[in-house]
Amino acid sequence: MVSLTIDGIKVEVEKGTTVLEAAKKIGIKIPSLCYLKDINKPSSCRVCVVEVGPRLLASCSLEATEGMDVKTNTRKVREARKTVIQLTLSNHKRECLSCGRNINCELQTLAEEYNIRDVEYEGEIAASAIDDLSASIVRDNEKCIACGRCISVCSNIQTVSAIGWSGRGFETRVSTPYERPLGESNCVNCGQCIMVCPVGALHEKENIQDVWNAIDDENKVVIVQTAPAVRVGLGEEFDLGVGERVTGKMVSALRRLGFDNVFDTDFAADLTIMEEGTELLTRVSKGEKLPLMTSCCPGWVKFIEHNYPEMLDHLSTCKSPHQMLGAVIKSHYANVMGIDPKNIYVVSIMPCVAKKFEGEREELSNEGLQDIDAVLTTRELAQMIKEMGINFAKLEEEEFDHPLGESTGAGVIFGATGGVAEAALRTVYEVLAEKDLEQIEYEAVRGLEGVKEASLELPNGQTLNAVIAHGLGNARKVLDSIKSGEKSYDFIEIMACPGGCVNGGGQPIIKAHLRDDVDAKVVRAKGLYSEDKALPIRKSHKNPSIQKLYKDFLGEPNGHLAHELLHTHYVK
């Protein structure tokens, strides 16, 4: 331990702690634009300077040492910080009022806190065209403040390295290799770079207007579905607590926006378990193409396509749940309701930006119609609710429409890392045991450890070895360990985003200073597990609407019709 003094207050911290972290411990806030807990420690923005003796030093990279005397708020410090903020603003496209990050921009907040009323230095802004060719992500480098957080998360956490530094001096910028558009790079659309951007330099490709147009089109039946993780994120956009469960209010808001039906992607998560569970049992019994890898995360699918194409046939052939639901809506549901599928417009509300890319993939269509017509992020949905003047917090809770809104606890936990594996185990085990099980919570697959292994003795005497990874850096570790022959598994669940979909790139952006106190991944996952616990049915194969769908329409899981509508092949 080392002992130091900050603004006259004595504090003891572990060796290796930075001054910025030590200050936080005693409630002293030091501003920072580039530093981000667990992600980025570059000390490039210099807004976190503090006074130590005669010198101004960046506190995010300054290690606390014994007897150090630090001052964080002297006139010299405040003036230095003001200068840094002014200089950053002078090289920033200041479109604050029309920027998607208006009110939730770290630079704007600092400018306000430091009483910046005009920008003294009128610098030149390094000109750069907006890159909006990706289906998922838009980059506006004229708003970039070169903090490097996006590069760190992309390289260190995701191990994708789609973006890096290029140029020198004033020309230094974030760029893809050879300055190609992001959509033509090896970017997997996870959107984690958006989540850490302090300003509006990165955001999702917006589809709000497309959805308003469909709602206003009298010839269209507009059907919406919501992903599991949206219900524990949306409330944050309306100042409700982080991770607060707002399922009923969300349904009610969607009806007010004018959607004709409000269905639940959780229903399709149950359907996925029927299909993927059957696929797993078949592969295990034949000893074929093991390990089976989940295929519901489009960032992960793109990652394996780019980096491990030789392992592609290990992917489950199941489409992801929201795609399955789109396919069912445009076939069976359209038929039962007597609607021409061409007049149905399916909107998926997702905590994810990669789902926008996925929705456009040609592998995810049927008879010339895309399964999904538009994908909106949780943030975009919040924007529409605000635009309609709906008082979200005061909404009465409503229920999803049936039958495609009926779901189980297994469906809802899909949104957290380990959830797909747990949902699959609940069904696979019980189908093999041919009896109802009391103990259905598989603790070994829960939690935030990067790679989680679980071995399960199946009722038929076989052992199922499963592994769960979240964050693509962890996925890479798992795949490399299989390639080297060090490990062998039967089932692998991978989600591209750390924590799973609860922390997807389309979820509300948690303000940097709150990230120290609240781990949104943990709190949102808790919300999903509590919804699971509260539901009367918690196993996918017990969902009565799923059973009816097989009886009336699909026939058997993995049967001919199921294969045609609900499965696909990725061959890139």
355 as an active site residue: the answer is yes
Buried-exposed string 326-341: b where 16+ CB fall within 10 A, e elsewhere: bbbbbbbbbeeeebeb
Q: Phi, psi at residue 443, to the nearest 5°?
A: -60, -30
Residue 358 annotated as catalytic = yes
**Which one of residues 214, 221, 227, 251 is an interface residue with ligand HC1 (CB under 6 A)?**
227
Residue 350: contacted member of ligand HC1, ligand SF4, none (CB under 5 to 8 Å, by partner type):
ligand HC1
For residues 67 and 4, the answer to whether their CB atoms sit within 8 Å is yes
Residue 345 CA: distances (Å) to CA of 83, 204, 240, 259, 534: 51, 21, 31, 10, 32
Q: Does the annotation count 120 as an active-site position?
A: no
Choosing from 275, 279, 422, 430, the catalytic residue is: 279
348 carries an active-site annotation:
no
Binds ligand SF4 (CB under 6 A): choice among 11, 147, 160, 501 = 160
493 is catalytic: no
- Per CB under 6 A, does 43 bind ligand SF4? no
Distance CA 515, CA 547 (A): 42
**Marked catalytic residue, from 24, 205, 249, 355:** 355
135 interacts with ligand SF4 by CB under 6 A:
no
Q: Which of residues 137 and 227 has its CB atom nearest to ligand SF4 in the complex?
A: 137
Please answer whether residues 295 and 318 qualify as being in contact, where contact means their C-beta atoms are separated by less than 8 angstroms: yes
**Residue 250 DSSP code:** H
296 among known catalytic residues: yes
Does residue 190 bind ligand SF4 (CB under 6 A)? yes
The amino acid occupying position 425 is L
* Residue 297 contacts ligand SF4 per CB under 6 A: no
**Which of the stretches 95-103, 191-199, 393-401, 408-416 binds ligand SF4 when contact is defined by CB under 6 A?**
191-199
Which of 21, 237, 275, 276 is catalytic? The answer is: 276
Q: How many residues bind ligand HC1 (CB under 6 A)?
A: 20
Find which of ligand SF4, ligand HC1, none residue 48 binds, CB within 5 to 8 Å per kind: none
Decide if 438 is catalytic. no
Burial (CB count within 10 angstroms: exposed 0-12, middle 13-18, buried 19+), residue 94: middle
> Whose CA is closest to 494, among 507, 482, 506, 479?
479
Per the CB < 8 A criterion, the answer to whether 79 and 191 are in contact is no
468 in contact with ligand HC1 (CB under 6 A): no
Which of 40, 141, 176, 265: binder of ligand HC1 (CB under 6 A)? 265
Q: Provide long-range contacts, Cβ within 8 A and 24+ apart, for 121-124.
A: 121/86, 121/87, 121/90, 122/90, 123/87, 123/90, 123/91, 124/91, 124/170
Closest CA to 416 of 537, 521, 541: 521
Active site residue 193: no
CA torsion, ordered 127, 131, 132, 137, to nearest 10 deg: -120
- Is there binding between residue 350 and ligand HC1 (CB under 6 A)? yes
> Taking every pair of C-alpha atoms in the chain, what is the biggest distance, in angstroms?
79
Does 192 contact ligand SF4 by CB under 6 A? yes
Q: Alpha-carbon distance 265 to 412, whole Å?
A: 9
CB nearer to ligand HC1: give 201 or 271: 271
Q: Look at residues 457, 172, 158, 396 and name the one whose alpha carbon lies nearest to residue 297.
A: 158
What does 198 bind: ligand SF4, ligand HC1, none (CB cut-off 5 to 8 Å by kind)?
A: none
153 binds, among ligand SF4, ligand HC1, none (CB under 5 to 8 A by kind): ligand SF4
> At which residue do the structure tokens 């936080």 appear?
24
Nearer to ligand HC1, 263 or 414 (CB): 414
Q: Note whether 501 binds ligand HC1 by CB under 6 A.
A: yes
Among 18, 32, 158, 543, binds ligand SF4 (CB under 6 A): 158
Active site residues: 276, 279, 296, 316, 355, 358, 363, 501
Residues in touch with ligand HC1 (CB under 6 A): 227-229, 265, 269, 296-297, 320-322, 350-352, 355, 414-415, 495, 500-501, 504
Residues in touch with ligand SF4 (CB under 6 A): 137, 153-154, 158, 160, 162-163, 187-193
